[in-house]
Amino acid sequence: MASVLEQLKTTRKASIPIIQKATRKGSNEVTLKPSGPGIIILDGSYALNAALRPVLDVTIAINGGVHLDLIKRIVRDIVEAKVTSKDTLFQVTSTLFPMFKAFIEPDLEQAMIKINSTYNPMANLLEPTYVCKAKYSTVASHFEKDFNDIEPQRTVFSDMYLYPPSKGPVDPMNQADRANWIRIRRMGTHFHIHFYNEIMSQNLNTRPSINFEISVKTISGLLSLGYQIGAILNRSVEIWYDKHNVVITKEYIKELEQYYVQIKGRNRHDVLNWAEKLHIYEHHVPQTFLFLYFKKLKKKKTKEQKK
C-alpha cells in the first residue's frame, strides 16, 4: 500500500492489487489525469497504520467510541447479514474489539484531525416500540375495572445497566450520557441484551431498539472491554396481551418501591387507545426507570448531606 501511494504521488501511475477475501485477484493499472484535482483519499480500518502515515499528507480519524462502534457492528450483522445467533455479540467482544484496541485504536490517536462521530445507528432502525407508563396509584381504579377479573402471566426479572468505557466521569442524570447505556435483562437462566435510545415526549415515548439473547460469556466480554455496571433494577411483573399485540403490564420496581403500569406496542394508535382508556395518557411518566432510580438516589443523598 505504501509503495502504491508513493507511485501515485510521484508518477501518477500505479498497479493497484485487487484483493478479495484476503486473496489477490490480479491488479488494476491506474493513471491519474494531469488535469485532475490531485487528491488521493485512502479509507479503511488500517489507513492510519504506522507504515502508511509517512506517505500521507493529512490524517483524519473518525470514531464514535467503543459503544457506538459496537452497536454499528451488531446492527450490520443482524440487519444486513441477517445474523441472529446469540454468539454474534460474543464474537465481537471476544475477538474483534480486542483486536481493534490492540492494532487500530493506537493509530487513531496519531491522526492530525480527530472527529468524534455522534451518528446513532439506532435512529435508523424500523418498527420502534411505543411506550406509555404511569404510577399505578394514579390509575388504579381504571386499571382494576378492566383487568381485575383477567388472570395475568407473572414473571420476575432483573435489569443490569452497563455504561460504556469513558475517559471522564459519567453522569447518570445526564440524558446524553445515559443514552449510551445498555441493558441486560436476566430472566431465569436466559440473558437478553437491549440497545435502545428512548425518545421522550409528554404523552408517549418512542423506543427504537434491537435486542437478542446472549450468553454469560458475552457479559464477561463487555466487562473486559471496559463496560461497568451502573445499576441493577429488579422487577415483579404481571402481563396482559390484547388482540393487537399490545402488552399491558403492572410491575413492581423493587429499588423504586413503586408499582407502575406500562403499555407497549408497535402500533402507536393502539397504544394511545389503551392509554386513554386506562387514563394513563394524562399521567404518563416519560422518564426511564433508570433515571427515576438515580433521581431517588440523588434525593436521598441530598437529605443525608443536610442532616
pLDDT in tens, 161-194: 998 877 677 787 777 667 778 899 999 888 888 8
Question: Would you place residue 229 in the very low, low, confident or very high pLDDT band (cuts 50, 70, 90)?
Answer: very high
Calculate the alpha carbon distances from 304 to 98, 172, 173, 291 in Å.
42, 20, 19, 20
- Is the pLDDT at 57 greater than 90, yes or no? yes
Residue range(s) in the chain whose domain bears CATH number 2.40.320.10:
128-306
**pTM tops 0.95:** no
pLDDT recorded at residue 137:
95
φ, ψ dihedrals at 71, nearest 5°: -65, -45
- Is the pLDDT at 45 greater than 60, yes or no? yes
CATH of span 128-306: 2.40.320.10
- Is the pLDDT at 55 greater than 90, yes or no? yes
The larger pLDDT score, comparing residue 209 to residue 270, is at 270
Question: Would you place residue 60 in the very low, low, confident or very high pLDDT band (cuts 50, 70, 90)?
Answer: very high
pLDDT recorded at residue 212:
76
Over residues 70-78, the mean pLDDT reads: 66
Over residues 45-70, the mean pLDDT reads: 84
Residue where the block lists cell 507504515: 51
Question: Would you place residue 120 in the very low, low, confident or very high pLDDT band (cuts 50, 70, 90)?
Answer: low
pLDDT recorded at residue 197:
73
Cβ 74 vs Cβ 92: under 8 Å = yes
pLDDT recorded at residue 219:
85
Report the alpha-carbon distance of residue 87 to residue 90 in Å, rounded: 5
Mean of pLDDT over the chain: 85
The larger pLDDT score, comparing residue 217 to residue 175, is at 217
